[in-house]
Amino acid sequence: MKKLLVSGVAALAMCAGMASANQSVLTNTKNPSVQVLQTGDYANTRYSKLNQINRHNVKNLQVAWTFSTGVLRGHEGSPLVINDTMYVHTPFPNIVYALDLNNDGAIKWKYEPKQDPDVIPVMCCDTVNRGLAFADGKIFLHQADTTLVALNADSGEVEWSVVNGDPSIGETNTATVLPVNDKVIVGISGGEFGIQGHVTAYDISSGEKVWRAYSQGPDDMLLFDPEKTTSLGKPVGENSSLDTWEGDQWKIGGGATWGWYSYDPDLNLVYYGSGNPSTWNPAQRPGDNRWSMTIFARDADTGVAKWVYQMTPHDEWDYDGINEMILTDQEIDGKERKLLTHFDRNGLGYTLDRETGELLVAEKYDPVVNWTTGVDMDPDSDTYGRPAVVAEMSTEQNGEDVNSVGICPAALGSKDQQPAAYSPRTELFYVPTNHVCMDYEPFRVSYTAGQPYVGATLAMYPAPNSHGGMGNFIAWDNIKGEIVWSLPEKFSVWSGALATAGDVVFYGTLEGYLKAVDARSGQELYKFKTPSGIIGNVMTYSHGGKQYIGILSGVGGWAGIGLAAGLVNPNDGLGAVGGYAALSNYTALGGQLTVFALPN
């Protein structure tokens, strides 16, 4: 097996030839007037060089125009802008609008896929979609039913489409995609249905599958070279995943890949995280459950993993590891390093060397995190890189059906998928967070393809003995592993942040406010209440010499699932309905784009 795998890897590398990042993406991400990726750039910094709107004049922002999407579920992600056209997406049924910025936002074309509504009950935690990507004259949409579509950006015509998964076994999609080189990188959702998570690369011109890498299984499915793929500096060894699952559990082991992807063109590595192991009942899956809850660094052309790091071995709390990997070049210990910073659901902010996978920092970015005392940072220790679990916060208490109480953070983590931003001007990260704890009671569950495979009942509530709210918006120093400032919020901050060269940071709230704060002090400079709760990501662009700020509002997502789906049982929505019951006093459903600008 080992010889076959290594020779296959070599063949893939020879076929790949010389790597070069997609030129259209590289060119466009250098132009701050446009936005072609949900992440802003390959490094996932969500930073804009535009500075017409700055900390001195942002208080004068006004609504410039609005657009109703016609869909009433959670609106995540953000629009794209290419030249004179804005591209807006919706939750299921995943409509795409092309709007003419030269003609008052008139609709140039509309794409509305015909999807089987039976996919809706298979989608965990609302029918959201995190948006489109643009490359080589195409708009890429990964639909809820896992169909990946390449649309002609000028006409909206389908150039090609391919099916990436099977909803009948629980595979769906909520994520965006990443065009890299001559490929489009896509993930899969479905960890709560016992899928086997994977990442796939499709040819950007034809839609042909180039490679697929799974989150768990044998080496040939993982695309691991057991002698060259490393974890914390050491080779992973042969079949490093199989030994950590009981029998064939890895085949229904979760490890979904529904988060964000970033890319280093110099190293030709794609970075992403895998999600929770299935089931949520840890007693049913003994072992470390590799490589769920893991950061992956993969060669973009071959898919072969260079390094991996598992953050939460044998996860007992649903601390999905899918949050974004933000790539920066910074000085640490007197040396310029290529860094990767990741704010995990488990409440720890990680800084790693993205070339080698060396672990440099692992610290709590919410003080209430109590499931662990911290990560072993001693490279010579047998437990190097592992978090030390606090026994009373384990959900595996003397078997099953024991309710573990007061666990912080809750399953939705100290931060869910809502992306952070980084400003090279301040060298700070701006992080939307959840300040929520939980009670967690596992129970035995059987696997049936296409049916929920959860096995736990949850109750969520604000972190006790704190500010009484359910969220904070923080500035984080990734070298020191410290919070620089923190702004309390009534509800979780479920919006993606945006940092700009005007030293302004923007984010949205679940009540529906767009807020602007000073990047250095955190002082609130502006707020405006949009028609519905914000779980979208703030974006900015320039048109006709004028800078604009755009945000999708439309409450939903996991935190807003009660409103989005009309649920009232406190235990529904995996515990979120009860935890966020008060949200209905502040907002209602909606689906609207609001665009802001300074007055003329």
Q: Active-site residue numbers?
A: 318
Place of tokens 């199989």: 242
* Bridge partners for 432 per DSSP: 473
Task: Look up residue 402 and give its two tokens.
Answer: 């024991």
By three-state DSSP, how is residue 18 classified? coil
3-state SS track over 296-314: EEEECCCCCEEEEEECCCC
CA distance 233 to 256: 25
CA-to-CA distance for 123 and 146, rounded, in angstroms? 11
CB 79 within 8 A of CB 85: no
Contacts of 55 (CB under 8 A, 6+ apart): 502, 503, 504, 518, 519, 525
Give the pairing type, strands 133-135 and 138-142: antiparallel
Other C-beta atoms within 10 Å of 205: how many? 14
Q: Are 556 and 128 in contact (CB under 8 A)?
A: yes
| The Cα angle at residue 114 between residues 274 and 449, in degrees rounded to 5 | 45
Report the distance separating Cα 386 and Cα 372, nearest Å. Answer: 10
Neighbours of 59 (CB within 10 A): 12
| CA-wise closest residue to 480 among 428, 426, 422 | 428
Q: Annotate 242-292 with DSSP letters as a single string.
A: GGGSSTTGGGG-B----S--EEETTTTEEEEE--PBS-S-GGGS-S--TTS
Count of all residues that appear for the chain in the document: 600
CA neighbor of 416 nearest in space, from 433, 430, 399, 403: 433
> Which of 1, 8, 598, 4 lies closest to 303, judged by CA?
8
Write down the residue that tokens 């489409």 correspond to. Answer: 161
Which of 370, 373, 229 has its CA nearest to residue 310? 229
Q: Which residue has the tokens 């410039």?
A: 64
- Which of these, 338, 323, 201, lies nearest to 274 by C-alpha position? 323
Tokens of 207: 């839609």
**Residue 417, CA atoms < 13 Å, CB-side half-sphere:** 29
Amino acid at 47: Y
